[in-house]
Structure 1
Amino acid sequence: MTIRFATIGSNFITDQFIDAVKQLDNATVHAVYSRTQASATTFAAKHNVEHTFTDLTQLAQASDIDAVYIASPNSCHAQQAIFLMQAGKHVLCEKPLAANQQQVADMIACAKANNVTFMEALLTTHMPNYQAIKAILPSLGPVHRYSFNYCQYSSRYDKYKAGENPNTFNPEYANGSLMDMGIYTLYPAIELFGKPDAIQATGIKLDSGVDGCGDILLTYHDQQIIAHCAHSKINHSAFINEIQCESATIQIQHPSQLQQVVVKYKNGQQQDITQPQNSNVLFYEVQHFVELLEKGVKESPVNHWQLSLDVMQVLDEARKQIGIRYPSDK
């Protein structure tokens, strides 16, 4: 059985997705979709993909497409995913799953109603280094502090400062630092510890209406955990992240790549638990999604639907506190 994918979106993340699929024996990218034929043809040629679509209805009706990977602007995710799932297509949708929690709920309801596989493409939870962290964490005593940051100067920020209006800083596309970078810091915290008891968010709001950078503080009273999630698209960091326990600290290099994982014990000893990882870190989420399709499993046990809802609820509340609104918000 070979899973036949189509892709929506033509940025670097779609390049990585196609490369990941090419590493699998049981999947192929059969078509690409773009709004214009010129763009579709160029992107298909770049990756030696045979078929192109410029009409979403034709893609939805195509009998030779099993699943669709969506990497379009955030504001398009819900509408495209629901339309495709109603036609019986399985959907792997890039993070953030949608613009707000109501859209996520609608997407999940559609997946259930049409009996299709649907998953948020958040890569870190599938990576070997993340599994190594989860495996060793219980042996280090209670966790009390989680500190992740994803602060990376955007290649498009100079254009924004020059007076242009790139998508990444445009609220029309449900973008901004929180949705683009902050989710990488929030997702593992909520996957590890669950929904927080309290959420405090602050941020720097740009003139365009999105946030340029910000901090989120999650408090877990019963577990006695504070999770600090920092994000930015207007400054740069060294990407050092920590999970601090009573007997040791897990230090992680880069919040989305998880490049190196070192346990630093309070007695001074260190243990490097870094695992071998594919140079294309999307490989593991793609492999997992294809396995779900082969087994007929509709909901991932890793990036499960409630996790996506819980993360989006935190994102919604953080946006509310910062004062960020998107056209799709009611």
Structure 2
Amino acid sequence: MRFGIIGTNWITERFLEAGRTVDGFAATAVCSRTLDRADAYAQAHGIEHRFASLDAMAASGVVDAVYVASPNAAHAEQAIRCMDAGLHVLCEKPLASNAAEATAMIEAARRNGVLLMEAMKTTFLPNFEAIREHAGRIGKVRRVQASYNQYSSRYDAYRAGTVLNAFDPSLSNGALMDLGVYCLYPVIRLYGPPLAVKANGVLLSSGVDGEGSLILAYDGMEAVVTYSKITFSDAPCEIQGEDGNLVFDKMSEPSRVELRLRGGAAEDVSRAQSPHTMRYEIEAFLASARRGDIESPVNTHDVSLQTMRVMDEARRQMGLVYPADRVLR
């Protein structure tokens, strides 16, 4: 499958590195805001075609799908334009700025009969499958503790008075959208949408959240989610059952998973996993496209939409509004 790359940043470099380990993957075009930037990126990464116009790339006939890795606020508009041109779309997380945009994207996939998948790599990882497989051994689940707290190097610039993209509300950015989604999406994939949400966050002067926490209420259990771009933590994540716990190092990219039964020793249930962790989502995307699917059986449209709805509610409770939200009113 021939991919066009939208965005020229560190995540697209990781994507290309992973894609080149996958049979059937080819990066044939790149689109950036200026042709000079597209040229430089294409030359550095051995990509043949370069564009400064998204519509020109979509109509060029040199790509079958696009990987959207532009700022969050641009995801919906760019993805819909590509789907209306008949292209499959693998879109970086979060899928959109809000649930209304996500709904429009899903409708575009259905209307055009093309594949739309959120690029949430976690749910395709072998160690996430290990978590799913062994969850039945810990008894009735009562609590999930999911965290992603990573101090952003861009926060140093923010503290010095420069607001970079990571803390710019016009791009629908901030800690919830960047890091919190890595906790919420897998929880919703495992347990479905919550019955209720309680959220709190620290809003920065730029208008985005620097850190926050959510409690998701389920029947007989709760999920506690914490995330931050202005502090850091190495605390592990846990799924706590009545008979034992599953403990793993990172919610976004678990590499070590331990089963700890009550009163027993810890058992390492980790699986071998490629260092190119994005390769699994790329393989799944290619497989879905070959089958003619419009959604992944794992990263379904429903999971993406349910996650966006939780994030919308969390932002409502925090008083965090993006320009993209006002457009919808």
TM-score grouping bracket, smaller chain normalisation: over 0.9
Counterpart of 1:292 in structure 2: which amino acid? S
* Identity value in percent: 44
Measured against aligned partners, the alpha-carbon deviations of 1:106-131 in whole angstroms (never above 9, x if no partner) come to: 00000000000100000100000001
Counterpart of 1:114 in structure 2: which amino acid? N
Q: 8 Å contact 2:89–2:117 — kept in the other structure?
A: yes
Q: 8 Å contact 1:37–1:54 — kept in the other structure?
A: yes
1:139 offset after TM fit, Å?
2.4
SS in 2 for 1:49: coil
Among 20, 23, 47, which residue is 1:22 paired with? Answer: 20
Query: What residue is the counterpart of 1:307 in the other structure?
Result: 303
Q: 8 Å contact 2:145–2:225 — kept in the other structure?
A: yes
Q: Which whole-Å CA distance do the structure 1 matches of 2:217 and 2:8 have between them?
A: 38
Q: Which whole-Å CA distance do the structure 1 matches of 2:7 and 2:132 have between them?
A: 32
Measured against aligned partners, the alpha-carbon deviations of 1:145-166 in whole angstroms (never above 9, x if no partner) come to: 0001100000100111111110
Query: What residue is the counterpart of 1:231 in the other structure?
Result: 227
Q: 8 Å contact 2:29–2:62 — kept in the other structure?
A: no
Q: 8 Å contact 1:239–1:255 — kept in the other structure?
A: no
Q: 8 Å contact 1:100–1:312 — kept in the other structure?
A: yes
TM-score between both structures, scaled by the size of structure 2: 0.98
Measured against aligned partners, the alpha-carbon deviations of 1:252-283 in whole angstroms (never above 9, x if no partner) come to: 11111101101111113111011000101111
SS in 1 for 2:226: strand
Query: What residue is the counterpart of 2:101 in the other structure?
Result: 103
Q: 8 Å contact 1:143–1:243 — kept in the other structure?
A: yes
Query: What residue is the counterpart of 1:260 in the other structure?
Result: 256
Among 282, 286, 292, which residue is 1:290 paired with? Answer: 286
Q: Which whole-Å CA distance do the structure 2 matches of 1:130 and 1:257 have between them?
A: 8
Query: What residue is the counterpart of 1:79 in the other structure?
Result: 77
Please say if 1:140 is aligned against 2:121. Answer: no
Query: What residue is the counterpart of 2:174 in the other structure?
Result: 176
Measured against aligned partners, the alpha-carbon deviations of 1:29-69 in whole angstroms (never above 9, x if no partner) come to: 00111011121111112211111111111011011210000
Measured against aligned partners, the alpha-carbon deviations of 1:73-101 in whole angstroms (never above 9, x if no partner) come to: 00000000000100001000000000000
Structure 2: gaps of 5 or more residues: none
Counterpart of 1:319 in structure 2: which amino acid? R
Counterpart of 2:113 in structure 1: which amino acid? N
Q: In the TM superposition, what are the counterparts of 1:12-51 in structure 2 within 5 Å? A: 12-51=10-49
TM-score between both structures, scaled by the size of structure 1: 0.97
SS in 2 for 1:136: helix
Query: What residue is the counterpart of 1:215 in the other structure?
Result: 213
Counterpart of 2:111 in structure 1: which amino acid? A
Please say if 1:112 is aligned against 2:110. Answer: yes
The alignment of Structure 1 onto Structure 2 pairs a total of residues equal to 326
Q: 8 Å contact 2:2–2:25 — kept in the other structure?
A: yes
1:239 offset after TM fit, Å?
4.2
SS in 2 for 1:156: helix
Query: What residue is the counterpart of 1:57 in the other structure?
Result: 55
SS in 1 for 2:222: strand
Among 186, 191, 198, which residue is 2:196 paired with? Answer: 198
Structure 1: gaps of 5 or more residues: none
Q: Which whole-Å CA distance do the structure 1 matches of 2:165 and 2:151 have between them?
A: 15
Query: What residue is the counterpart of 2:316 in the other structure?
Result: 320
RMSD: 0.8
Q: Which whole-Å CA distance do the structure 1 matches of 2:307 and 2:22 have between them?
A: 30
Counterpart of 1:317 in structure 2: which amino acid? E
Query: What residue is the counterpart of 2:64 in the other structure?
Result: 66
